Amino acid sequence: MTTKIFVPRDAAALSMGADKVAEALATQARQRGLDVRIIRNGSRGMLWLEPLVEVETTQGRVAYGPVRASDVASLFEAGFLSGGDHRLGHGLTEKIPFLARQQRLTFARCGVTDPLSLDDYKAHGGFEGLAKAMALTPAAIVEAVTQSGLRGRGGAAFPTGIKWRTAMNAVADQKYIVCNADEGDSGTYADRMIMEGDPFSLIEGMAIAGLATGATRGYIYIRSEYPHAFGVINEAIRSAESAGIIGKAIMGKGPAFHLEARLGAGAYICGEETSLLDSLEGKRGQVRAKPPLPAISGLFGKPTVINNVISFTSVPWIMAHGASAYADYGMGRSRGTLPVQLAGNIKFGGLFETAFGISLRTLVEELGGGTHSGRPLRAVQIGGPLGAYHPAHQLDTILDYEALAAIKGMVGHGGIVVFDDSVDMARQARFAMEFCAVESCGKCTPCRIGARRGVEVIDKMIAGDHRAENRALLEDLCTLMTDGSLCAMGGLTPLPVMSALTHFPEDFDKPAMPLAAE
């Protein structure tokens, strides 16, 4: 009997040697005359256990990790093919608390299936949402997405259904569906994980958007830092086309839907939707003034739905199980689930999909196990480089859009970066300004010039030069950037800066340091 072994092909697993492990498993199985089949799955998201090797047994899948190539011989000796005990063993994968406690809707298949197997995808509920959508009118699809309460997972949290309705109602000879897979926020990797681990779900979600709006062409704009995701998505597009799921006619009988993946070129601002559209058109990624909304005049001036990867990949589940089933998860105006990404100085870093409403403390301390270094936790940054820094005492806040806004923070794309007590928050504030200066598209002055001035002012504060005056100057500058910037790059950079200043004033008041030589 062939035993199935799963070794992730996810880039995070590869970064810890998954290919070498897969190779060693294959070689040693051959040498021992054992009949195994190695499947390169996506990641389960328990990234501290990568490479996580799973074996299919009569009991279910049994997990071992983190496995190094040098551990492989001892795994065979321990009889891991039948789930034997080993120091790296974790028992049944599904019973590992970090996984068992999740509510996996969007990521249900991720890590379970072979990402590029259409048969696997279908066997695990794939294309059920698309099939349901095929039987509906565009208006009914849009209504379902609206009723689900899904809000954009890219950061701005705009209701997805409303965006789709605008594009549906627009009249044009060509409409586009664009997926924002630029995922530039530090501390986030959900888009990458699902593109590498369940790429057909993105194709399915975008095809449903095509049906809903009458768009017949789609683009997936993937950041160039993600070569693995780009490769998997391209393969998935090709096989979905040859299987007749997309292309000339959706599922062989619907309207056309042609999909293409494009690479970004290393610019954080190209995650901003209008800048992304300019970049797709082959231009500098400069932010456009709104209106017009992309849903009215987007890519090449045509009505365009642009959504984040997780927004699109949430839709197949909503269509398959119903809008109210999705809206049953979550609380208040934050409905459904969010793939939270635990990152930085954390013991058990990984992706945790959960209904909105869980506390930050549960995520960071209980599930995440506190800091990786073992030192006290001092700050968490939530929502990427434009998100606020929160002190440890704010960890009792509930994860939901409104609750975080109430403490002057934001959910963003759902990344939580943990810092221990060695962090210097004045340096973090400086970095926020520096990042904005480096990545600004240059279109408006408050951002382009303001960020540079911000770096200078913080440098002076660190150097002990006129601290009170410079603090007032920094606050003024932040107000100017917040009020006067064209987009959220300049508009939200004050969030990390001011939160550092508000919650950690002592770090701006340390014994003077000489001015940075940079």
What is the rounded distance in angstroms from the CA atom of residue 296 to the CA atom of residue 163? 10
**Segment interacting with ligand FMN, rule: CB under 6 A, options 177-185, 321-329, 353-361, 368-376:** 177-185
Q: How far is CA 275 from CA 209, 272, 387, 485, in A?
A: 21, 5, 20, 15
In the list 120, 485, 499, 507, the residue contacting ligand SF4 (rule: CB under 6 A) is 485
Of ligand SF4, other proteins, ligand FMN, none, which one sits near residue 228, judging by CB under 5 to 8 A according to partner kind?
Answer: other proteins
Of other proteins, ligand SF4, ligand FMN, none, which one sits near residue 198, judging by CB under 5 to 8 A according to partner kind?
Answer: none
Q: Contact, 96 vs 89, CB < 8 A? A: no
**Considering the rule CB under 8 A, would residue 304 count as an interface residue with other proteins?**
no
Q: How far is CA 344 from CA 20, 104, 169, 262, in A?
A: 25, 23, 43, 29
In the list 9, 109, 153, 262, the residue contacting ligand FMN (rule: CB under 6 A) is 153
**Considering the rule CB under 8 A, would residue 334 count as an interface residue with other proteins?**
no
User: Please, which of residues 475-494 interact with ligand FMN by CB under 6 A?
Assistant: 487-489
The neighbour count for residue 123, using CB atoms within 10 Å, is 11
Task: Give me 180's structure tokens.
Answer: 């924002």
**Considering the rule CB under 6 A, would residue 440 count as an interface residue with ligand SF4?**
yes
Task: Look at residues 223, 218, 185, 184 and name the one whose alpha carbon lies nearest to residue 202.
Answer: 218
Count residues near other proteins (CB under 8 A). 62
Q: How far is CA 109 from CA 105, 181, 259, in A?
A: 9, 19, 22
What is the rounded distance in angstroms from the CA atom of residue 169 to the CA atom of residue 335? 25
Looking at the Cβ atoms of 51 and 383, the one nearer to ligand FMN is 383
**Segment interacting with ligand SF4, rule: CB under 6 A, options 141-149, 242-250, 347-355, 442-450:** 442-450
Say if strands 304-308 and 330-331 run parallel, antiparallel, or are unpaired: unpaired
What is the rounded distance in angstroms from the CA atom of residue 218 to the CA atom of residue 204? 12
**Considering the rule CB under 6 A, would residue 156 count as an interface residue with ligand FMN?**
yes
Query: What kind and span of H or E run contains 258?
Result: strand 258-263
**Considering the rule CB under 6 A, would residue 158 count as an interface residue with ligand FMN?**
yes
Of other proteins, ligand SF4, ligand FMN, none, which one sits near residue 440, judging by CB under 5 to 8 A according to partner kind?
Answer: ligand SF4
| Least CB distance to ligand SF4 at residue 151 (A) | 22
User: Can you say whether residue 127 is alpha, beta or left, with left for phi > 0 and alpha for psi between -120 and 50 degrees?
Assistant: left
Residues at the site binding ligand FMN, with contacts judged by CB under 6 A:
152-156, 158, 180, 182-184, 269, 271-273, 306-308, 311, 487-489
Residue ranges in contact with other proteins by CB under 8 A:
11-12, 14-16, 47-48, 50, 183-189, 191-192, 224-228, 230-231, 234, 262-268, 279-286, 300, 341-346, 349-350, 372, 381, 385, 415, 417-420, 423, 428, 431, 435, 439
